[in-house]
Amino acid sequence: MRRIVSQIFRQRPADTVTFAFLFFLIALTLFHYGIIPDASSLLILYSALVLAQMILIRFKNRSKFFGYLYDLVFPVLCVLLVFDSLGRIVHYVNPQDIDPVLIRLDNLIFGGDPAVMLEKIANPFLTDILEIAYATYYFMAISLGVVLLVHHKKEEFNRTIFLVLLCFYLSYLGYIIFPALGPRFAIDELKVIPLKGFLVAEPIQNFLNWLEGIKRDAFPSGHTAIASTVLYLSYKFEKKLFRILLPAVLALIFSTVYCRYHYVVDVLAGIILAVLTVLLGQWYYAWWSKIWARSDTAR
């Protein structure tokens, strides 16, 4: 067992954090096996991802194709598949949604519901723009990774993918501990008018509702956390991309509340998560570099 743990920690930090979170999900599913209806298929999924990760680590240097799968394709697929699986596990592990608490906190901070307050500036043109801004989240991290690889900044890429994956997995842990539907599904309680766009708002809303489903993924705001982390990393490693991402990230963060995907406290928690990700991630990466960077399995 000690040898297995040692081998896991010898891998690049992005691999280690993925292994750690997959093993956590396997243990969580096994512990709640009797109450999770789809437990068997979840265990197969998580185990398959562990196996795929191990295979790619072994063959990553055999060809550019395997290197591409290892660096970009597998991390993206892993994040998407794990996120999708949360809809089959979170509510059974922790059935008490905290939306009423989040709504009360928003009311306490602002003296009313932010969604209701934002009705004063709502218009179809703004709604279209902010729905597009919200959807850019799905491309931000990938765009930074691709730019770093194209510019042959492999060390910066490895650090970036680790911090981004760490942020994703910490946000997923938050969904398990603090399940919340978010304003778009608690809309009746907020008593607000429907948001209407000119052309793209409704199709984007419908697509995201289909893509994300009900994951209880409101707290913390993963969109805010990931976008903020990517913005920080682009500032460090790709200044030109940072100047492009800055207005997009600001619009995205505002859109999370305007478009009723998140409460304001979700956004604040997302910013805190991004800060914790950078602080904890940089500390771990420095430790790993000092201990393992010269080993034959280090990047």
Q: How far apart are CA 261 and CA 202, in angstroms?
A: 14
Mapping DSSP to helix (H, G, I), strand (E, B) and coil, where does residue 198 land? coil
Question: Does 229 map to a domain?
Answer: yes
Instruction: Report CA torsion sign: 29, 182, 221, 132.
Output: positive
Over range 39-49, report the average pLDDT: 96
pLDDT greater than 80 at residue 214? no
Question: Does 299 map to a domain?
Answer: no
The predicted structure's pLDDT at residue 116? 80
The predicted structure's pLDDT at residue 219? 92
Which residues, 6+ apart, have CB-to-CB distance to 271 below 8 Å?
Answer: 224, 225, 228
Question: Does 71 map to a domain?
Answer: yes
The predicted structure's pLDDT at residue 114? 87
Return the number of other C-beta atoms located less than 10 Å from residue 171's C-beta.
24
Task: Give how far the C-alpha of residue 127 lies from the chain's centroid of Cα atoms, to the nearest Å.
Answer: 23
Could you tell me the pLDDT band of residue 253, with boundaries at 50, 70 and 90? very high
The predicted structure's pLDDT at residue 298? 43
Question: Does 297 map to a domain?
Answer: no
Read off the pLDDT of residues 2-19 as tens digits, 9 standing for 90 and up: 555 556 666 789 999 999
For the chain, give the mean pLDDT: 88
Residue 62 domain boundaries: 2-292
Report DSSP state, residue 180: B
Question: Does 118 map to a domain?
Answer: yes
Read off the pLDDT of residues 120-143 as tens digits, 9 standing for 90 and up: 888 888 998 999 999 998 899 999
Question: Does 298 map to a domain?
Answer: no
The predicted structure's pLDDT at residue 297? 46
Percent of the chain whose predicted confidence (pLDDT) is above 70: 90
Is cis: bond before 220, omega within 30 of 0? yes
Question: Does 260 map to a domain?
Answer: yes
pTM: 0.91
Could you tell me the pLDDT band of residue 201, with boundaries at 50, 70 and 90? confident
**Minimum mean pLDDT range among 172-176, 198-202, 228-232:** 198-202
Beta carbons of 75 and 14 less than 8 angstroms apart? yes
**Which spans in the chain are helix H?**
2-10, 13-31, 39-59, 64-68, 74-86, 90-93, 99-110, 114-117, 124-135, 137-150, 154-177, 187-190, 201-212, 222-237, 239-258, 264-292
Question: Does 110 map to a domain?
Answer: yes
Better pLDDT: 176 or 209: 176
Q: How far apart are CA 237 and CA 250, in angstroms?
A: 19
Better pLDDT: 32 or 199: 32
Provide the domain count of the chain: 1
Beta carbons of 54 and 15 less than 8 angstroms apart? no
pLDDT greater than 60 at residue 51? yes
Q: How far apart are CA 68 and CA 55, in angstroms?
A: 13
pLDDT greater than 50 at residue 117? yes
The predicted structure's pLDDT at residue 248? 95
Q: Which two tokens stand for residue 254?
A: 């505002």
Instruction: From 135, 277, 266, select the one nearest 212 (Cα to Cα).
Output: 135
